Structure 1
Amino acid sequence: MSLLLLLQTKGRMTAQALADELEVSVRTIYRDVDSLHAAGVPLYGDAGPSGGYQLLDGYRTRLTGLTEQEAESLFLAGLPGPAAELGLGEAVSAAQLKLMAALPSPMRDRASRRAERFHLDAPSWYYDPERSPFLEVVADAVWRGRLLEVGYRRWRAPEDVTRVLRPLGLVLKAGRWYLVAQGETRISTYRVSQIQSVTVLQESFERPEGFDLAAHWAASLEEFQARQYTGEAVVRLSPRGWESFSSHVLPLVARAAEESAVDDGGGVRVRIPIESIGHATGMLLRMGGEVEVLEPAELREQVTEAVRRLAAIYLPQPGAHLPAPVTASSIS
């Protein structure tokens, strides 16, 4: 569809120009052109320096009847759950129907098969979806560029505050909605489920020039992790521990381990950032005997104390009588 709409908009284009525009290989363009031919699209190509692919004069793929809300909802077409949370569930369904109706029959069949075989589930495992009763109101203010007055519950004192915000965008992260908004002095992130009350004001606002929601979110995550991981530890990993280390830690910690890894006589010594002594203790204990803390001494002592307490629970004390093993003859 992207290739078709490009040719419809720009006219004649070479395979290389199409590949550059769509960020794919020229071979992929040839394959997609064959698919369009098979679908009955009147597309032809001319060889030579001035050649290229072109649609037959007068041919257009029309997406007619899309409402403004349906058009806005198309970016959520693969996320039915979040679309419904934003109040756009019906709009997404209607837009998909109209899009499907505009496709040639063979392409419509292929699109239907894709929808039947792939499903995206955004929330993380083991977490119930958060209740965000004001999400639709907040989303509407984001669409329309209206100021919001919100009552918000923070994690630090004073817990309940009132803010007037310029809502710049919504982000769905691991099943939780976050509002990126500009306050009096800076752009901050607010968890939508923590909004206790909301009033949409009549005043509109100008978005900061050049503001990029995705870039801002990525930078905010990096800054947040940098603020969290202010300490450092040195640990020795067994070969098995080194192999599985990245599955036990955040990507930031895994990257630091890869960059600092040195061979240590059959194991691997790494230097990693840590959030706190307590947090690092829990993180490293999950790896059992595959990791040894070398520095700092406080972390090593806390891990040692945790192991000692576990041993007191699970290892038999001297002189203790162990229960007799259960055998078939002892079961009546």
Structure 2
Amino acid sequence: MRASRLVTLLLLLQNRGRMTARQLAEELEVSVRTVYRDVEALGAAGIPLYGEAGHAGGYRLIDGYRTQLTGLTADEAQAAFLAALPGTAADLGLGEALATAQLKLRAALPVALREHSERIQERFLLDAPGWYGDADQVPHLAAVAAAVWARRALVLQYRRWRAPEEIERRLKPYGPVLKAGRWYLVADGPSGIRTYRVDQILEVRPLADGFAPPDGFHLAGYWSSCLADFRARLHTAEALVRLTPEGARRLGVTPTGGGWTEARIPIESIDHAHREFLRLGTEVEVMAPAELRNRIAETARTLVTRYEN
């Protein structure tokens, strides 16, 4: 375990340059004291790294030093090729760069790993978007990504769901996020850090003004907190239902026997639950809340009338 951590620490310094003990501790998920001991061990092993004191200090490798511990294992090579999504790279304007990088990576691999990576691409395909609906049109994604890379502010013409529908925003773009086949932009604007749908961007005007994200901001961490908040607000009520064995299976409920199973199911809203429970047809009976039961009963009566004529 420690040997693996020492290699990771060394590669972090090689790839990122100067890093503080606290930054290394956060990356390695260890204490600062452990980082101090690891740095001492690397120094004793002859690795040319040194520490600089002060506010802007930290640890770094001597200029020009490159470790040779960069060989890929079979699992790492497999993950690298599985993680490469051609469609995503093309959306970002990096399709050609991805193809070239894969060629270089494949050429650098030993023969056995090269053959293994080729089998991965022959036998696995990652297709992120869902089945229903056409893929979002994101003609401005490359321009947004360019501003993110350059850390330059931009002005967006944006379409939103409430009035006024078309607005203009001056933003500091922190990073794009691809979620379930849809692109989002996390950016700082007049109302603080917000998430914007890239397919709703009507126009992009890059600015010359540079910016830096606030200290401690991490795109992945921000997105995780957004998802957690979304899930917390998603299911704010519940429905009491009776389910057939098939209905229980489709909702992921453990059946209590061979007959009907009573369960309480979290719901987002009456409207959403009405649509979702109708999908189950005769496999479910809604007992409560009364408003939801009455809505489904009304829909059932309408369907009977429509199909009897």
Report the TM-score, using the length of structure 2 for normalisation: 0.70
Using the alignment, how far apart are the partners of 1:297 and 1:210 within structure 2? 48
C-alpha deviation, 1:60, in angstroms: 4.1
Q: Is the 8 A contact 1:152 1:196 kept in 2?
A: yes
* Aligned sequence identity (%): 52
- Mapped to 2, the partners of 1:283 and 1:95 lie a distance apart of 44
In 1, Cα distance between the equivalents of 2:250 and 2:306? 27
Aligned to 2:135: 129
**5+ residue gaps in structure 2?**
12-26, 29-65, 72-79
Partner SS state of residue 167, structure 2:
strand
1:56-135 → structure 2 map (5 Å cutoff): 60=68, 78-135=84-141
For structure 1, list consecutive stretches of 5 or more residues without a partner in the other structure.
11-20, 23-57, 64-73, 247-257, 317-332
Kept in 2: contact 1:61–1:103 (CA 8 A): no
Give per-residue Cα distances to partners, 1:174-212, cap 9 Å, x unaligned: 221110111123211100010111111111112122222
Aligned pairs, number: 245
2:210 aligned with 1:217, yes or no? no
Give the whole-Å Cα distance in 1 for the aligned partners of 2:123 and 2:265. 41
1:169-248 correspondence to structure 2 within 5 Å:
169-246=175-252
1:154 is aligned to 2:147: no
Greater shift in the superposed pair: 110-119 or 294-303: 110-119
How has the CA–CA distance of structure 1 residues 130 and 59 changed in structure 2, closer, same or farther, with 3 Å as cutoff?
Answer: closer
Find the residue that maps to 2:240 and give its secondary structure. strand
Cα drift, residue 310 of structure 1: 1.3
SS of alignment partner, residue 125 of structure 2: coil
Q: 1:166 aligns with which of 141, 162, 172?
A: 172
Q: Which has the larger radius of gyration?
A: 1
Q: CA deviation at 1:98?
A: 1.3
Report the Cα offset of residue 268 of structure 1: 2.3
Find the residue that maps to 1:178 and give its secondary structure: strand
Task: Report SS of the residue matched to 1:272.
Answer: strand
Question: Alignment partner of 1:110: what SS?
Answer: helix
TM-score (norm. length: structure 1): 0.66
Alpha-carbon distance in structure 2 between the residues aligned to 1:228 and 1:237: 22
2:182 & 2:233 partners in 1: Cα distance?
A: 21
Q: Is the 8 A contact 1:76 1:92 kept in 2?
A: no
Closer/same/farther in 2, CA of residues 171 and 127 from structure 1, 3 Å limit: same
Q: 2:207, 2:158 → 1: CA distance?
A: 16
Q: What letter is aligned with 2:292?
A: L
CA distance in 2, matches of 1:61, 1:116: 29
